[in-house]
Amino acid sequence: MTTEPVFDWFSGCDLIGVEVLARAFMAGVSSREWLPLTKCVKRVAFIWQLRFLLRTKMDESRLLSRAVGELLFFSLGTDADELKIWSEKAPADAKTYHDQWKVTSPEHYKAWLRSARVEDAVSHLKCGVDSMERIKEQAKEVRTGQVWPGREVLRAYQVSVSRTTAASFD
């Protein structure tokens, strides 16, 4: 659904803040009260966007609000468990990739591009001065296959767990 990894969703997030947010959802507090708490999940694009999509419905339905909160709260506990299982069963190349991108930033990604001698993306589109930055960004999106509107890329590839990989964890 989000091409985010199955685990490690909350990497870099304030986990206590995420728990407080989840408990606010479960308690059915209004979005006026929980919206300021969502800063803790800003790094998790799926949840960051979900808060706007469901906020009115969550205000209208205590059951929906509770369900979202319970799912969020449950996810906090499964992250550690899944990462442990993954580290026991993952192949060496997956572990190497994980270690390389465990702590990352736009600067880390740019340094990796330089070390791999990846050239800047080039576009042959013609545009006005006002559109030049967007053209450069679009060329990067075409080169990498990653689209993160308003955000910088943090790692070399999108991470997802295929059915084959997920099945090997059973």
Chosen domain end from 59, 89, 119: 89
- Per-residue pLDDT band at 67 (split at 50, 70, 90): very high
Q: Is residue 56 part of a domain?
A: yes
- Per-residue pLDDT band at 8 (split at 50, 70, 90): low
Q: Which residue has the higher pLDDT, 139 or 23?
A: 23
Same domain? For 71 and 116 the reply is no
* Residue among 103, 100, 130, 127 at smallest CA distance from 116: 100
Same domain? For 117 and 80 the reply is no
Whether the full predicted model's pTM is greater than 0.75, yes or no, is no
Same domain? For 76 and 102 the reply is no
Indicate whether 7 pLDDT > 80: no
Q: Which domain holds residue 121?
A: 98-167
pLDDT at site 166: 41
Determine the average pLDDT of the residues in 100-105: 81
> What rounded mean pLDDT belongs to the chain?
79
Q: Is residue 157 part of a domain?
A: yes
Number of separate domains in the chain: 2
Chosen domain end from 39, 66, 89: 89
pLDDT at site 169: 38
Same domain? For 85 and 22 the reply is yes
Q: Is residue 4 part of a domain?
A: no
- Per-residue pLDDT band at 130 (split at 50, 70, 90): confident
Chosen domain end from 89, 107, 128: 89
Q: Is residue 1 part of a domain?
A: no
Same domain? For 20 and 74 the reply is yes
* Residue among 50, 35, 47, 3 at smallest CA distance from 155: 3
Give CA–CA dist 71/115, Å, rounded. 40
Give CA–CA dist 28/83, Å, rounded. 30
